Each structure stands twice: as structure tokens, then as C-alpha cells.
Chains A and B, each alone.
Chain A
Amino acid sequence: MLGILIGIAAVILTAGLGLGSQQQVGAQISALGSNLLIVSPGSTTSTAGIRGGFGSASTLTTADAAALASKVAAPDIGAVAGVKTTSLSLTNGSTNWTTSVVGTSESWLTVRSRTLAGGRFITAADNADQAPVAVIGSSTATQLYGSTDAVGQTFTANGIEFTVVGVLATAGSDSTTNLDDQAIVPISTEANRLVGGTSKNSVSTIYIQAASAGQLSAADQEATSLLLQLHNISASSSADFTISSQEALLSTATSVSKTLTVLLTGIAALSLLVGGIGVMNIMLVSVSERTREIGLRKALGAPPGAIRRQFLVEATILGLAGGLLGAALGIAGAKVLPHFISTVLVVSPLAVGGSIAIAVAIGVIFGVYPAARAARLAPIDALRSE
């Protein structure tokens, strides 16, 4: 009983864990935007020693981003958003809030699959004008303005007064950053008025959205050859940038969570097996404890079928009780566990229903043998056993 109880709870928890991690990964990846390619400066190839580590060199520029956006050179690329990120302190009166300031173009919203909660997004005109306007995340808005509507409010960064023209809709957080705590400004404003200096035309990341899901690899190739050409690099092996696709991330993530699921399923199956043996033992014990009862019932005229049926019903009830209790334990565990470990547990009705069904099946399967044994006993032999 305890075995099957723990077995079922384990199944529900592991299924919940697998599902949770899958959903978490899926949410993180879809938070990046759909059909997305991410161009990062630097190279991951081992021969790239002189260029330093991944992401450290500022080899991508606003010009690269502009070139990639060309429909002629790269017809499979739908939208491009170069991003230049700096961390700055934003001031509203006496309130200070340090957040990441993201300089980008008007296409960022589409490329990152974000929506606005209010106001408008930055425009091409804002970029042309190096306008001091900003679209801020919902957390940032709360930090700076509390509950008042952020649209139309102002803040100061690096001595420049920005006007908030829009607020992003809540998106949660991915593994590293809070997607709701950032300020989006025109990239030209950031480059010229906030950062300046020699690196003012460099970007930290270029996000490329393929025109459609089917054009993702074509877009990847176009972006690679275009950037190699722009950077005067002949061999793709010595590229000073890296393009990673959301797909690649997704497949890595799913393969990881698949391994996890297989592992967890193995553990769950094992505990179910142990639970099944437990049920069988209980049935065997109850048979020997109740041998006299069986003998008596047979003596009073119970046909072997009735005895078998009685034991099967008992096994089923036992399995069902174990399944239900196990499910309750599992659901309770799924509620409590996330407080101790930082994982998301998703209790799926399928896992609960399925494991209860498994418990009943185990009860019946392991009830067959003891029931058959009980029914085979000669009435008087059973009655005599003390």
C-alpha cells in the first residue's frame, strides 16, 4: 500500500516536473520571439583566441543591422532589430531605479514578440530625431511611478530628460533577465546621447526575425554571408560573430528535458513496480490470514468464481485507494515542492488519471494470482489452517 502510494505520488511529481520544465523552457524560448535568429558578436570557434571570448568583442554595428534589414540582400529576413544595451540609473524626482536601457529600432516589438500595455512604441522618426523618448517595462513603471500611469511621465538618465511614451505588456522573466524591467529607447538616442565615444555605433545583439518559420535556415544563410561580406571575412570558420537560432536552443532544451523525463519515468516505473509487489504481498498476506474465511465460504457453497471475484474486487479497491491517496500525496507534493526547489511543477490531469488507472491495473494484476490461489484451496484444508 505504501509502495503504491509513493509510486503514484512519484509518477505525478515526476510527470509534473518534466512538464513543468518543458513549459518553463518553452516559455523562455517563446519569450525570445518567434522565428528568431540571434546574432552575437565574437565567435565560439576555438581558433578565435585573439578575438577573446563569446560576446566580448563589439564587432557588430548599427550598419550591420541596417544592411541585414535590406529586402534585396536578404529576402528571407522579415525584420531586424539591433540592440545596444547599457545599464543606467533612471531618476524621477527623488526616485532612483537602475535598469538596463535597450537602444533599438521600431521593429524590436515585432521581433521580440512583445506587446504594449499602453501608449505607443518608439518609431523610425524617433530614431531619426534621436528623440528622448522611452518605452518601459511594467516593473520599471511601478518602480518609478508607482501606481500612476507611466505614459507621459518623465525620467532623467545621464542628465537627459526622457518622456515615457509607452509601457510594455507583462512578459515574466526568462532564466537571466526580468523582461518587465527595462527601458527601450531609440538606438540613435542611446548611441549619441547616452553612450557616445568610440563604441557608439556598436550593438550588443542583432535580433533577426525570418519572414516565416520555413525561411529560418535561408535567413540564417543570408545573414551569415552578408555579415561575412560586410566584415571582409572570407572563411566562415573565422567569422567574428555567432548566429544561433531559437530552434537550436529549443532542440537543446527539449533534448535535456527529454533525458530528464526518461530518467524520471524510470524512477517512477520502478517505484510503481515496488508498489505492485507491495500490493501482491498484501493480497498474499490477506489470503493466508483469511484462509479460514475462504474455506468457510467455500464450505457454505461459494463457487471458486465467487471467491476469485471477491479477491479481485478487493485488489481493485486496494489499487484504487492507493491510487487516490498517491494522487493526493502527489498533488500536495506538487504544491509544496516548488517552495523548496526552484522548479515549476505542473500537475496534469492526464498524469493523475493515468497513474490512478495504473494503480488499479496493478491491484488487479497482482490480485489475480492470490485470488486464484485462494480459490484453489480445498474447503476443509482452508478451514483447518490455524
Chain B
Amino acid sequence: MHAAPTSAPRGVGVGDPTDSVPVIDLHGVAKIYATGALSVRALDGVTLRIDEGEYVAIMGPSGSGKSTLMHIIGCLDVLSEGAYHLAGEDVSELDEVDLAQIRNRRIGFVFQQFHLLPSLTAWKNVELPMIYAGLSKGARRAKAIEALRRVGLDDRVDHKPGELSGGQQQRVAVARALVGDPALILADEPTGNLDSTATEDALGLFDELHDQGRTIVLITHELEVAERARRIVRVRDGRITSDSAHPDVGRDLVPVGARPGAHQAGAGT
């Protein structure tokens, strides 16, 4: 029942000698929202596999289920149908405390709406994940400031979100996502509020993180942003309509990211 083309990378991946267990392994995942009499299938049979060190862009029209997919991947939401294995572990078998720890140690999340706490200064927002990782206050502050420096906000450390521009707030959110050195970075429209220069800076940062071996999944509307990724997944109405290696990938890159999942399945623009 689940679309054969989208499951193709999975089969190929198993045979790939360079990897063992995929970081993200979704199989036939559906998410159904029941609001009153109406039930919305925000995700409808998504099968997706992302290996360690991949840089994936997710594209699709508004309301297509991109954020929902990201929340499932980030263990922020539970799926209605299907199975999700995160680094080989079946997420449905993990309890709240395990999930909290996974979110804390392994995943850095950049939310579409930033979700900064308005009462806290920039560095205090950035240090939040480290509080739950049990770091000392001194270490938290040092790392928070370092993360803010990486996003070019070292002169706004003590500003509250209300005192920052939209783009600056977004960069604080990015700093918070990377401060804990997570292996997996999930970013929902991380450049949505940035001008071209700032977008370039942010993308440079993602490139850098990717070069350090981190797995990056980002949602974007902009093709030029998606083109920085090595793989583009297109989503429409809760289904994956195409999953392709970026055209440049074969030319530019050593085959680590060169997933041979470049099946052009359907015309998803």
C-alpha cells in the first residue's frame, strides 16, 4: 500500500556498506488530527529513511504536512499509524523520560515560530537545553555565548526576544538548537525571516555543521535554500511525492551523501 518508489532508498541503503542503522526510519507513518467531526490526515503513509550525516531539505506547499513530519521526527508528537525508528530504536516503546533525554541530547530543533521565552535574555534562552542536560551554570553561559557568537549575535547576549528583530530571534533559535552539539538538527524554515545576507550566513552555518558530520533536516520554501542540501524531499497532502538527490550532488560530492534514492517519483514541484 505504501508507495513503492519512496521505499526504494531504504532497500538500497541496506545494501550500502558505508552505513549501518539509519538515523531516521519512518515506515508507513500517518498522523491524523481529529478536530470535531472532521479528521485531517496531515501525514498519510510516509516512508522515509535518512542516514547519518545526510543533509536533507523538505519542500512542499503550505499545509502539506512538513511541520507535522518534522515534529514526528523530533519526537515532539506521536504518530497515529506506522512505525518510527530513531537510530534503530522504536520510538513507540520509549517512555517520556527516555524521549525527553533523546530530545535533549540528540536533537536540536529550530521551530517555525522560534518559540523563545519572552521573559528570558538571549543567552538564557540558548542555555535552556543545557539546564536539562545537567551542565553547570558557568559552562552553560560559556557555551550559550559561543553558540550566539556562531550565529553572529554575540553583541545581543543580554537582549530579550522582544528587543530583537525577527531575524535575530530566528538566529537565537538556531543557536539554541546547536548549543548542545546534537547529532541531528531539525530546522523548520530556519531562514524564513532572514534577508539574503543573513540567509547566506545561516546556510554557511548549516554547511559547517554538516561538514562536522551532523545530520541536518530542514524545511524550506525557497529552492535556493533547498539546493544547499544534498537531497530534496517533496511533500504534498501528507505524502512524499518525490525524493531526489540534488542535481549537483553527483558532480560535487563524495558519495557519502550520494544516496542513490534519486528516483524521480511523480512531479512534485
Q: Which of A292, A300, A378, A380 contacts B128 (CB 8 A)?
A: A300
Chain B residues positioned under 8 Å from A304 (CB to CB) = 96-97, 100
| Interface check B156, CB cutoff 8 A | no
Provided the pairs A300-B103, A303-B101, A304-B100 are in contact, do residues A383 and B128 lie with their beta carbons within 8 angstroms? no
| Contact present for A298 and B100 (CB under 8 Å) | yes
Bits for B86-107, please: 1 = Cβ < 8 Å to A, else 0.
0000000000110011111100
Asked if A293 meets B103 with Cβ closer than 8 Å, knowing A299-B76, A304-B96, A304-B97, the reply is no
Residues of A within 8 A of B97 (CB): 303-305
B61 CB → nearest A CB, Å? 20
**Complex contacts, A298 vs chain B, CB 8 Å:** 100, 103
Query: Cβ of B132 and Cβ of A306 under 8 Å apart?
Result: yes
The answer to the question of A367 belonging to the interface, with a C-beta cut-off of 8 Å to chain B, is: no
Q: Tell me if B109 counts as interface (CB < 8 A to partner A).
A: yes
Q: For B133, list chain A residues within 8 Å (CB).
A: 301
- Across the interface, do B132 and A300 meet the contact criterion of CB distance under 8 Å? yes
Interface residues of B, dominant DSSP:
helix
With contact pairs A300-B129, A301-B101, A301-B132 given, residues A380 and B96 touching in the complex (Cβ less than 8 Å): no
Determine if B117 is an interface residue (Cβ-Cβ < 8 Å). yes
Query: With an 8 A cutoff between CB atoms, is A326 at the interface?
Result: no
Contacts of A160 in B (CB 8 A): none
Tell whether, in the assembled complex, residue A302 and residue B78 are in contact, meaning their CB atoms are under 8 Å apart.
Answer: no
**B102 vs chain A, min Cβ distance (A):** 8
Mask, A353-386, CB within 8 Å of B = 1, is 0000000000000000000000000111001000
Question: Residue A303 contacts which of B77, B111, B132 (CB distance < 8 angstroms)?
Answer: B132
Q: Contact check, B71 vs A380: say whether CB atoms are below 8 A apart.
A: yes
Interface size counted on chain B using CB atoms at 8 A: 23
- Give Cα A299 to B109, complex, Å: 8
B234 to chain A, nearest CB (A): 23
Chain A residues within an 8 Å CB radius of B159? none
Which B residue sits closest to A306, measured CB to CB?
B132
User: Of A292, A302, A305, A306, which one neighbours B115 at CB under 8 angstroms?
Assistant: A292
- List the B residue with the shortest CB-CB distance to A379: B76
Q: Check B117 against A383 for contact (C-beta < 8 Å).
A: no
**With contacts A301-B103, A301-B133 known, is A293 near B77, CB below 8 A?**
no
Using A300-B128, A301-B101 as known contacts, say yes or no to A378 and B115 having CB atoms under 8 A apart.
Answer: no
A85 to B141, CA, bound (A): 85
CB contacts under 8 Å to A, within B127-182, are 128-129, 131-133, 176
B78 neighbours in A (Cβ, 8 Å)? 378
In the bound complex, residues from chain B placing their C-beta under 8 Å from that of A378 are 76-78
CA distance A299 to B73 in the complex (A): 12
Task: State the CA gap A380–B100 with chains docked (Å).
Answer: 13
Contacts of A380 on B, CB cut-off 8 Å?
71, 76-77
Find the B residue at minimum CB distance from A376.
B96
Interface residues of A in 239-298 (CB under 8 A from B): 292-293, 295-298
Residues in chain B near residue A305, CB distance under 8 A? 97
Alpha-carbon gap, A191 to B78, bound state (A): 103
What is the 8 Å Cβ interface bit string for chain B, positions 192-223, against chain A (1 contact, 0 not)? 00000000000000000000000000000000
Task: Evaluate contact between A303 and B96: CB separation under 8 angstroms.
Answer: yes
In the complex, chain A residues whose CB is within 8 Å of the CB of B77: 378-380
Q: Which residue of A lies closest to B119 (CB)?
A: A293
Separation in Å of the B126 CB from the closest CB of chain A? 10
Residues of A within 8 A of B109 (CB): 299-300
Bound together, the chains give a CA A95 to CA B157 distance in angstroms of: 83
Query: Would you give the 0/1 interface string for A297-323, flagging 1 where the beta carbon is closer than 8 Å to chain B?
Result: 111111111100000000000000000
Are the CB atoms of B71 and A297 closer together than 8 Å?
Answer: no
Nearest opposing residue in chain B for A303, CB measure: B100
Q: A residues within 8 A CB of B102?
A: 301
Binary A-proximity of B212-252 (CB < 8 A = 1, otherwise 0): 00000000000000000000000000000000000000000
Which chain B residues numbered 39 to 58 have a C-beta less than 8 Å away from chain A? none
Bound-state Cα–Cα, A293 to B116, Å: 8
CA distance A383 to B68 in the complex (A): 13
Nearest chain A residue, comparing its CB with the CB of B129: A300
A221 CA to B32 CA, complexed, in Å? 92
For residue A87, give the distance in angstroms from its CB to the closest CB of chain B: 74
Contact A301 B129 (CB under 8 A): yes
Say which residue of B71, B100, B117 sits within 8 Å of A301 (CB atoms): B100
Q: Please, which residue of chain B has its CB at the minimum distance from the CB of A290? A: B117
Q: Which residues of B contact A (CB under 8 A)?
A: 71, 74, 76-78, 96-97, 100-105, 109, 111, 115, 117, 128-129, 131-133, 176
Between-chain CB contacts (< 8 Å), 7 pairs: A300-B103, A301-B104, A301-B132, A303-B96, A303-B100, A304-B96, A379-B76
Q: Which 3 A-B pairs have the closest CB atoms?
A: A301-B104, A303-B100, A380-B76
Taking A293-B117, A299-B109 as given, write out 11 further A-B residue pairs in contact, using a Cβ cutoff of 8 Å, ordered by the A residue number: A296-B115, A297-B128, A298-B100, A299-B74, A301-B104, A303-B96, A303-B97, A304-B96, A304-B100, A378-B77, A383-B76
